[in-house]
Amino acid sequence: MKFYNREKELNYLKNYVQLEPNSILFVYGPKSSGKSTVMLRVIEELSKKDDLVFFYYDLREYATPTKEEFLEIFFEKGDKKYLLNRFEINLKIFKFGIEEKFDFDNIKLNDVFSKMKESINAVIKDGKKPILIIDELQKLKSIYFNGEGKGDKSLLNELFNLFVHLTKVRHLCHVICLTSDTLFIEEIYRNSTLENTSEYYLIDWLRKESIRNILKEEGFSEEEVDYCLKYLSLPYEISQLINNKKLGLSVEQTIKQWINIERDKILYLISTQKEFEMGKLIDALKLFENKIKVDIKEIIRDNLMDEVKFLIKNEILFYDVMNGIIKPTSVKKWYAIKEVIE
């Protein structure tokens, strides 16, 4: 799919990575809203300048990694402190370098962090600026390192300490974390130890005018465009819609199929789960009967926060932590919710 109409987000991130590092940046947004696409475009455009070195790790590519897999993902064995990722032939992105003889089997967490810092310092010594980007960082939650007799250490918790050191304390390296897991973002946002060390940037649904321009450029009629604007919000939906039209499916037929599929998924989820009363989950969904956005204060007032968190976890709803708003993960999901509660 072509890169469509994300100039505002693109410019923000391009400018951000060229400032002095001073905090961890969390880029968050609904699933499939284009976070990774925008970030990869930033890397593609700025790598041409040759004064920035991007360490980019997309953890969505992997099953939830073990400690050993984490080391293989983040490090590349070779004769340099930072090495091009040999599996990313289309982008100039790097991995932390580590010597060929290094023993992964007996590595301690402090050794891991020392090797990361060596790579970052090597970039700086070469007169370049290092930028560390981790996509879906929360997938490292379950990894622990032995704490040398003092109990296991959470990799993720210790990583945050390292990130604060690299950004807020030493201003050595930008650290950018991308995620669609807004409960994870809430956990970070409420964490007092990360207060004043983190910033947050939302990449949300496509703007209506952007969607209109894209569809007109792709040859959709005014009638088709007006119909689509009621239901579309995410970039991948546009790509699928264009392909389906080429295959002979009408816009209305495609979108109705999507809503039916989403409706059935929601019904299956709430009817098969064992944690909540189905009626309470329906009550949570009914908050969206006449509006697409609900203030979190309303959810707390109606004592439905646990049910809403369940729906967020299962990607029915999205929590915009910074603005205190809950909404469906997409506009088409909203229409599916409305069918569920009819």
Helix axes 208-217, 222-229, angle to 10 degrees: 150
Query: What radius of gyration do the chain's Cα atoms show?
Result: 22
The CA distance from 240 to 195, in Å, is 41
Q: Which of 142, 171, 202 represents a domain boundary (last residue)? A: 202
What's the whole-model pTM score?
Answer: 0.93
| Domain identity same for 197 and 277 | no
Tell me, yes or no, whether 136 and 111 share the same domain. Answer: yes
Query: Does 265 share its domain with 121?
Result: no
- Is pLDDT at 148 greater than 60 in this prediction? no
Structural domains of the chain, count = 2
Q: How far apart are CA 158 and CA 176, in angstroms?
A: 16
Q: Residue 337: its pLDDT value, please?
A: 98
What's the rounded Cα separation, in Å, for the pair 37 and 5? 12
Structure confidence by residue, pLDDT tens digits, 202-230: 999 999 999 999 999 999 999 999 999 99
pLDDT in tens, 243-254: 999 999 999 999
pLDDT in the model for residue 152 = 77
The string of pLDDT tens digits covering residues 122-140 is: 999 999 999 999 999 999 9
How many beta carbons lie within 10 A of that of residue 172, not counting itself?
18
Question: Looking at the predicted structure, is the pLDDT value of residue 329 above 70?
Answer: yes
Residues 190 and 223 occupy one common structural domain: no
Grade residue 46 by pLDDT with cuts at 50, 70 and 90. very high
Domain end point (choices 202, 232, 259):
202
Domain range for residue 77? 7-202
> What's the pLDDT score for residue 151?
57
Q: Are residues 220 and 181 in the same domain?
A: no
Spatial distance between the Cα atoms of 61 and 74, rounded to a whole number of angstroms: 13
> Is pLDDT of 298 > 70?
yes
pLDDT of residue 176: 98
